[in-house]
Amino acid sequence: MPDPAHPKIARPDHEILDVIRDRWSPRAFDADRDVADADLRTLFEAARWAPSSRNEQPWRFVVARRRQSPDAFAAMLATLTRKNQAWAAVVPVLLVVAVRTTHEIDDLVNSHAWYDAGQAVAFLTLQATAQGLSTRQMQGFDPAAVRAACHMPALYEPAIVMAVGYAGDPSRLAIEYHRTDEASPRSRRAIREFVYADIWDNPLP
C-alpha cells in the first residue's frame, strides 16, 4: 500500500480502482532490487488477457534483464535517448513492446494493432502496480537500433521501450528536472474536456 500522501498518487474527482489511483511512472528506480521471475511472468499473464481486434493479440515483448543478460540490457539501453539513459541505466528490466501491424489471416494492414498493444500494456502496468512494481514507458528510443538490438522481424514495429522495477530514491537521479519532477503532482484534463454528450463539444451533464 503506497503512502496516500505521496504527491504522485492521483487525487481523483470520482472514486476509482486503487491500482489506477496508485499507478504513476517514476524515473527513480531501486538499482538493488531485482524483479522476481514469477512477478515478471505475472505481468505478461495480465497482458495476455487484454482484448484485441479479431483476438489476434498483435503485441510482442522482448525482455532484457540487467543482471541476467547484461549484454542484451546494455544493447537495449544504448537505443534510448541520452536523457532516458540517464535514469534507465539502473532499472532491473527493460521491455520492448512490438506490434505486428498486419493481420495474420490476410496480411492486410491491421489499423487497430497499436490500439490493441496499448491495451495489453495498460493491463500490464496495472498488474505491476498491484504487485508493488513500477513502470515507465518511453518513446525516446531509436527504432532502427531497437530492431537491430533484439533482432526484430520486419513484420513488427517497435512501439515503446519500458522500464520495470521498484521505485527508488529520487535524489539519486542525475538530471535536476528529473529529480524535481519526481515530487510534482500529476495533472489531468477534466472529464468535461474529453467526454461529450450526443455531439462533439457538448459537455456531459
Residue 8 Cβ, how far from ligand FMN at the closest point, in Å?
6
Instruction: Specify the residue for cell string 540517464.
Output: 86
| CB closer to ligand FMN out of 6 and 54 | 6
Residue 107 Cβ, how far from ligand FMN at the closest point, in Å?
26
- Site residues (CB under 6 A) for ligand FMN? 24-25, 27, 84, 136-140, 160, 186
Residue 128: name the closest of 91, 154, 157 by CA. 91
Residue 198 Cβ, how far from ligand FMN at the closest point, in Å?
30
| CB closer to ligand FMN out of 65 and 136 | 136
Q: Helix or strand or coil: residue 21? A: helix
Question: Position 84: which residue type?
Answer: N
Task: Name the residue number minimizing CB distance to ligand FMN.
Answer: 140
Q: Helix or strand or coil: residue 74? A: helix
| CB closer to ligand FMN out of 11 and 54 | 11
Burial class (CB in 10 A: 0-12, 13-18, 19+), 32: exposed
Which ranges in 78-182 belong to alpha helices (H)?
Answer: 82-88, 113-130, 143-149, 176-181
Residue 136 Cβ, how far from ligand FMN at the closest point, in Å?
6
| CB closer to ligand FMN out of 54 and 188 | 188
| CB closer to ligand FMN out of 60 and 136 | 136
- Residue 188 sits at φ, ψ, to 5 deg, of -145, 155
Residue 137 Cβ, how far from ligand FMN at the closest point, in Å?
4
